[in-house]
Amino acid sequence: MRMLKILLWKELLQIYRDPAIIRILFIMPMIQLLILPLAADYEIKNINLGVVDHDHSEYSRQLVNKIVSSGYFRLKDYSATFPQGLKAIESGRTDLILEIPTHFERDIVKDNRSSLFVAVDAVNGVKAGLGGAYLQGIIQNYNQEVRTQWIQAQRFDEQPTIEIASADWYNPHMNYRVFMVPGILVMLVTMIGSSFAANNIVREKEMGTIEQINVSPIKKMQFILGKLIPFWLLALLVLTIGLLIARLVYGIVPLGHYSTIYVFATIYLLAILGLGLLLSTYAQTQQQSMLVSFFVTMIFNLLSGLYTPIESMPAWAQLITRFNPVSYFIEVMRMVMLKGSGLADIRYQILALIGFAVFFNGWAILNYRKRSG
Amino acid sequence: MEKENVIVTHELTKRFGDFTAVDNVSFAVQKGEIFGFIGANGAGKTTAMRMLCGLSLPSSGTATVAGFDVYKQNEQIKKHIGYMSQKFSLYEDLTIRENIRFYAGIYGLRDERIREKTDLLLQQLHMKGAERTLVRALPLGWKQKLAFSIAIVHDPAIVFLDEPTGGVDPITRREFWSLIYEAAGRGITIFVTTHYMDEAEYCNRVSIMVDGRIDALDSPANLMQQYASASMDGVFLQLARKAKRSGD
Ligand SMILES: Nc1ncnc2c1ncn2[C@@H]1O[C@H](COP(=O)(O)OP(=O)(O)O)[C@@H](O)[C@H]1O
Ligand SMILES: [Mg+2]
């Protein structure tokens, strides 16, 4: 215990003295959170939409009108069949297709439910993915209007639903930032967890101080905890700053509890720090560890569902996301933020992350040796 | 009277692949002596020392340090030794006082003992008043003297010094050696590697390593007599001429 205390004291002192850490920890998150969503917001205002309307009804026309008048979409193609619509995507004229089935109006009126199909262009993942998400938001909103009309006209109790074939989406205000900001937060926390701790250990290797540690009676476990705890605290601190920015600047208040986010983040960080630790046991120089952790986090982020909704990824990529801790955190973030999910709803994700934590840390501890062969 | 041995090795060997860095070395170091390990760059001094410190697993042979077996009791050995690696190993971004506190702390010294030790050490090194200076800002000679004092802050039975005076001026080297004598006077066994031949003459006994083997082991006086040379330099040159390995 005393040993751990002295290790933590030294570690925090060094972090405190490192101007780069303070810069990266506090200034970078602010910039990312403040600039990135604004920049991407511009991009997302010009999504090219193709419509395949098999229904040609009043409802379907209303829906398309509503989508176009949202200001985010430009109606670029109106095809009679889905294959024709796909051609427009392939030629790059459109970013996504909305297919309205025959009897769309009739199904809503008669059965209170209908489904729509949204196809997105896999090449421009960000634009199409977010466009898809927006579209779903608008459709949900439209659904609410249907309900209002319905109730006024017929005094019918049941709420008609439009099933969106590609995904459930809980961002009724169509706010792109609500979609993006929690994701950026996850990325930041991931970066700190995976690369900072790793770099720190590798720096001790480079400086030669690790030899001095290895020749002392410090236990492997104490050393590892002494490295993990400070970065675990730092990452939670950055998360807190990020959540504050999200709230104060973007007015993003989670529907669920902050505590749910923190419980999950705590476990998530165990897994990510374990990954960093594992990297550090292999890397000999800071350059190596930086490069590898950058590469790994980039892959994780790309396949996380942050830019491209997981549902619209090809099957092989969807499978990979199941082995990607980042995708779980983004999913949980959105569930808590937008759906108000609690601990019980995310138990599956928690279990998965515990699995990751055991796997990464176990491997790292096996691989960290105080003595070379 | 036979003195107690604190380090005993028998045919200790370290191979990296098919390269033998340390080749069947056998020797004993007595309690309280200053034992020099002399050899050209690449002779295998660091490798041998790392095995004795429990940092590197031997390929074959046996060794005990402070009565503990290097294979099985390496964590026990660590409680009884100090080590100053060839690479400078204090934290540059911590102050003198903080470095002392950290290294004393990881050897389990209590707070008040750490305070006493810090005062003593600062006084001995004439660094009073500089204790809040970051180590980064110190001249190399100061750093090395500080590193040595910190390596023995927990009063180990044996201290291993790997080329502790590399790159410093002759005056600082003298000062460094007076610190070594002071520690030896307190009963700490000194195991030191060097390639400065004048320093070899400060040792009670020296072993001369050539290509991973120990080719000679005796007191400097006996060696000079045996090799009919007026200085250790001459002894070393005669032995080193046989070397096939070039430095790294
Ligand atoms: N980890 C290692 N892997 C392969 N070869 C090594 C390793 N460590 C040292 N050597 C080799 O062993 C030899 C002895 O090295 P070393 O013990 O550092 O010599 P010295 O300290 O006497 O200069 C050198 O040729 C060196 O290249
Ligand atoms: Mg060496």
User: How do residues A248-262 score in pLDDT, each as one tens digit?
Assistant: 888 888 889 999 999
Q: For residues B54 and B72, what is the distance between their CA atoms, to the nearest angstrom?
A: 9
Mutation probe of ligand 1 site: the residue of B14, B19, B47, B213 with most atoms within 8 A of C-beta:
B47
Residues A157-202 pLDDT 10s? 344 445 444 333 334 444 566 777 888 888 888 888 888 888 888 9
Residue B197 burial class via C-beta count within 10 angstroms: exposed 0-12, middle 13-18, buried 19 and up? middle
Higher pLDDT, A58 or B94: B94
Q: Check if A20 contacts B (Cβ < 8 Å).
A: no
* A208·B85 Cβ contact <8 A: yes
The pLDDT of residue A166 is: 39
Residue A209 in this model has a pLDDT that exceeds 70: yes
| Residue A99 near residue A90 (C-beta atoms within 8 A) | no
Question: Residue A125 — very low, low, confident or very high, per pLDDT cuts 50/70/90?
Answer: low
What is the distance between the alpha carbons of residues A143 and A140, in angstroms, rounded to a whole number? Answer: 5
Could you give all domains of chain A from N- to C-terminal order, each with its CATH number?
2-40+174-372 (no CATH), 47-152 (3.40.1710.10)
Residues within 6 Å of ligand 1 by CB: B 16, 21, 39, 41-47, 248
* Closest in B55, B91, B94 to A215, CB measured: B55
Q: b or e along A69-103 (b: 16 or more beta carbons within 10 Å of the residue's beta carbon)? A: ebebbeeebebeeeeebbebbeeeebbbbbbbbee
Asked if the ipTM is above 0.85, the reply is yes
Q: Which residues of A touch B53 (CB under 8 A)?
A: 215
Ligand 1 geometric centre to CA of A277 (Å): 27
- Give me the half-sphere count of Cα atoms (radius 13 Å) on the Cβ side of residue A285: 3
CB contact, 8 Å: A3 with chain B? yes
Residue nearest ligand 1's atom 6 by CA: B16
A214 and B75: CB-CB below 8 Å?
no
Q: How many CB atoms lie within 10 A of CB B4?
A: 9
Q: How far is CA A340 from CA A158, A218, A336, A346, in A?
A: 24, 45, 5, 11
Task: Give the whole-angstrom CA distance, residue B40 versus residue B24.
Answer: 18
Mutation for testing the A interface, residue in B49, B83, B90, B91 having most A CBs under 10 Å: B91
Domains of chain B (ranges; CATH) run: 5-247 (3.40.50.300)
Arithmetic mean of pLDDT over chain A: 80
Average pLDDT over residues A356-360: 95
Q: Which of A82-86, A279-283, B79-83 has the highest mean pLDDT?
A: B79-83
Among A122-126, A272-276, B129-133, the minimum mean pLDDT is found in A122-126
* Interface probe with B: pick from A4, A7, A10, most Cβ of B within 10 Å: A10
pTM here is 0.78
Question: Which residue, among B231, B166, B187, has the nearest Cα to B34 in the 3D structure?
Answer: B187
- Residues of chain B positioned with their CB less than 8 A from the CB of A223: none
d(CA A148, CA B56): 76
8-state DSSP, A98: E
Whose C-alpha lies nearest to ligand 1, atom 5? B16
Q: What CA–CA distance (Å, rounded) separates A98 from A53?
A: 8
Asked whether A260 and A286 are in contact (CB, 8 A), the reply is no
A216: contact with B, CB 8 A cutoff: yes
Chain B: closest CA distance from residue A209 (Å) = 5
φ and ψ at residue A369, rounded to 5 degrees: -120, 135
Task: Output the six-digit token pair for B186.
Answer: 């307190």
- At residue B84, the 3 state secondary structure works out as strand
Q: Please tell me the distance between residue B36's alpha carbon and the centre of ligand 1 in angstroms.
A: 18
Confidence of residue A153 (pLDDT cuts 50, 70, 90): very low
Any residues with CB less than 8 A from the CB of A370 and at least 6 apart, and which?
A214, A220, B54, B55
CA–CA distance, B194 with B215 (Å, rounded to integer): 16
What backbone torsions phi and psi does residue A150 show, to the nearest 5 degrees?
A: -60, -50
Regions in chain B scoring below 70 on pLDDT = 1-2, 246-248
Cα–Cα distance, A125 to B239 (Å, whole number): 71
- Asked if A14's CB is within 8 angstroms of B93's CB, the reply is yes
The rounded Cα B36 to chain-centroid distance in angstroms is 8
Look at residue A275 in the predicted model and tell me its pLDDT: 92
Query: What torsion do the CA atoms of A116, A120, A126, A129 make, to the nearest 10 degrees?
Result: 20
CA A43 to chain centre: 19
**Residues in chain A closer than 8 A to B162 (CB atoms):** none
Give yes or no for a contact between B44 and B7, defined as CB atoms under 8 angstroms apart: no
pLDDT in tens, A298-337: 888 888 877 666 766 778 888 888 899 999 998 898 888 8
Determine contact: A353 vs chain B, CB below 8 A.
no
pLDDT value for A169:
35
Tell me if A66 sits within 8 A of A142, measured CB to CB.
yes
Q: Which of A14, A17, A371 sits opposite B74 (nearest CB)?
A: A371
Check whether A87 has a pLDDT greater than 90. no
What phi, psi does A17 have (nearest 5°)? -85, -10
**pLDDT score of A176:** 63
Nearest CA to ligand 1 atom 12: B21
When comparing pLDDT for A139 and A345, which is higher? A345
Asked whether the beta carbons of residue B106 and residue A216 sit closer than 8 angstroms, the reply is: yes
Residue A155 has what pLDDT? 34
